[in-house]
Structure formats: structure tokens, C-alpha cells
Structure 1
Amino acid sequence: MIETEDQAQDWLRDVLGVDAAGMARLARLAELLIDENTRQNLVARGTLPHVWQRHILDSAQLLACVPRGTMPEGPWLDLGTGAGFPGLAIAALEPDRPVTLVDSRRLRTDWLARSAADLGLANVDVVLSRVEDLPGRHYAVISARAFAPLDKLLHLSARFSTPETLWLLPKGAKAAHEVQELPASWNHLFHVEQSLTDPQAGVIVGRLAGQDGARSYKRHSRDLG
């Protein structure tokens, strides 16, 4: 378990292999977050002294939730991105991957767009929208940090997924329970990885064929054209 800011930064360098440029982008993201949090409540103030552990590493650990070399290439969708976690942190770590950040609050999306520009992240697309109103397209990876209960999240966003899409969903203590309680109609291969930042939390990881199996997936595909 990662318990200190120094341990968080060491893990990023030593385990994830983040280079000096990547660490500089993450450090700048931390500065931007702390400054903006004086104007709008992006994250709980009590977490700011532990920003590397609680927010940056908590996001970056998603890249280590699958075996090395098996992370899908292609666009990443982060739903309900809020303060940019995990999506903006992922974009800073993988500046060549297109990352779409979606939030329904204009103050948040305005700040996300400014921050992406400040960090020089041309790979970021910030979208002001409810998930229900997003145009349909498929993504290689979908993330959402405590955005909605799993069943509701899938109902809202399964249309963005294919059977090859990887879902990475940071959750709290109820992660395993949410997977266990998922209706049998969802044809999925989800499991829970232990969070590196919270002994009570987990990350739901896996793939989804769709509701009621292949028939539902084909219907979603037709809807997307």
C-alpha cells in the first residue's frame, strides 16, 4: 500500500516508468489543482496535502491494472471526470493517446480545458455534456471514478463499448459488491483489483459484451452506425 507522497512519486518512476517530462507534467497538474481549489471545490481540501497519493497515483494505477503490454491502444473516455481524475492524469502520462474528458459542470470543463492547454496536452478533448447526451462512438478504454453505481453506469455508457473495450473503474469499499450484484443480463468479465492508495477500495477491471449478450451489443453497434 502506498502511504506517503514520496512513495507515490517513487512508484510512478520505478514501477510505471514515468520519465522526467511526465513527472514534470504531473507536478504541474498538482500545482494547478491546488491553486484552482481555492476558487472552486474540485477535491476535498483535506486531500491536498496528499495530492500525489490520493489523486495522481490513484489515477495512474489504472495503467498497471492489466498485464504489461496488454493495455488497448486507441481513444480513452473518462466519464464524470470532475477535477480531471483519472482522465487528465492519464492524458499527462500518455500524451500520444486521445483522451476525452466529459463533465456536465461548466466551471469544471473550463478549468480542465485551461489545464490541458497549460500542460501542452494536445491529446485532450474536453466535453461539456451529460453522459446521456454524448454522441455515440466507440472507445478503447472507458474510465469513471466513483461516477455512478456499476449497473447504472453500464446502462448509461455501454453504447461506447465494444467487446474489446477495457473498463477501468476506481471504486470504494463496495467495488466487489457492485460486481456481485450486477444483473445476470450483463454479459461481462469484470473483476476487482486492490487499490494501491486505499486498503478499503478497489478498481473494477474488465470487458463487456453488452446487456443480454451479443444481441444487445449488435443493437448498440447499429445505433452507432
Structure 2
Amino acid sequence: MTQHTEKNSARNTSEPKQNSVDASGAGDAGARGESAAERTLRRRLDPDQRREAIFEAARAEFATTPYSQVKIGDIAAASGSSPALIYRYFAGKDGLYAEVMRVGYERLAVQQESALAALPPNTSVRDHVRTIVQTYLDFVAENRESWGMVIRQSGAEPASVGEIRDLAREARIAQLRGVLASSENRRHEMAICGFYGFVDAVLGDWVASGCPDDDRAPLIETALGALQGALGDWAA
């Protein structure tokens, strides 16, 4: 009888400890609203998948929240990750935002180059430029929230992002120079450099209005007319 009581006593002293472990593990996860499947996913992602999950969560967060208000903890929670992992893969919020911007500009450039390459050999210069602008509008419409935020918060970003914007701008200007086969005429150079500033300003209004299809054709024609007027001639 005494032996049975001692066994029960020993078992009773160990059970609260087990319950405590459960409470600090699955119990806390349940309190956070995290399912077993989500915990399994968080554990099983390989480094590339983890990096991609963080990237996509950040892209969604930056699309709807001004840069200064984005919190690393929110991105970590959305990606099933941790702030430490974000700093490991992207060196913090600045690096993560810079990567989102870099990839966005890279994807836009690839789409524009593919669209230009698909044009027949006898396509006019004006229609080459039209294709560049149309592809830009398509890209912005497909990524309306994220690209709208990019356009709106230019200047309120870390220095590294400013460098990425500058490089992207130089690449876009070089692309336009190639299409126009422009000379060293100073007027032509000013027209080319000012073109994307004009387009981005108009696109900002278009995005704010919800990218209405009815405004697409007038926007393109306005951009083409502005460039032609600035150049003086398409055969720059």
C-alpha cells in the first residue's frame, strides 16, 4: 500500500512538468493561432524556400504599408520565419526592401526586352516605344499595389534603394536610346532623360485611380506625343 502511494506521488510530481512542456510548445502555438501544419511547414522549408517565403511576405507587406511603417516582426510572422532569419538572409529591412525593388525592376526589364524582341523587323520607331510603354503599363497593372507604393514613396527609402532606382533608370534610358538610335544632340538627350520622369508621374495618377482600362490608350498616346514633341522627330 505504501509502495503504491509512493508511485502515485512520484507520478503526480512529474505530470505537471509534462503539462508545462506542452503549454510552452503546442499550447503557445495554439494561442498564436498557428496550426500543426504551419509549424511543420516552418520546420521543413529548405534555405531557398525559406528565403523565397520571406521575400514574398516582404513584397506583400511593402505593397500595402509605407516603408517606414513596415516591421520586421510582421514579415517574420507572415513568412513563418523569425527576425533572426530575415537578418541572416537579407541583412534587415533595408536589404530586404532593396531586394524587392531590384527584383521588380529586373522583371520589368525582362518583360520589356521580350516584347521588343517579338516585334517584326519592319516595326516603326514609334511602335517600338509604344511597346515599351504598353509593357510598362501591363507590368504596373499586374503589380498595382506593390508598384504603386514604389512610385509613391520614392525618396522616403534607404540609400541602397536610391542606388537601385538610379541603375534601373540608366538601364531604361539606355534601352530607349537603342530604340531611337539617338544622336549626341543635347535636345535628344534631354528628351530621353525626361521621358521616364513624365511617364512615372502619369502612371502614379493612373495607379491611384485603380489602373482603369479606359485610360490606358490615352496615357500611351500622351506619352508618345510628349516624347515626339521633345525630340522634334522620331528619327532622332
Would you call these one fold, judging by a TM-score over 0.5?
no
- Normalised by the length of structure 1, the TM-score is 0.25
**Greater helix share, 1 or 2?**
2
**Greater strand share, 1 or 2?**
1
- Normalised by the length of structure 2, the TM-score is 0.25
Which protein shows a greater Rg?
A: 2
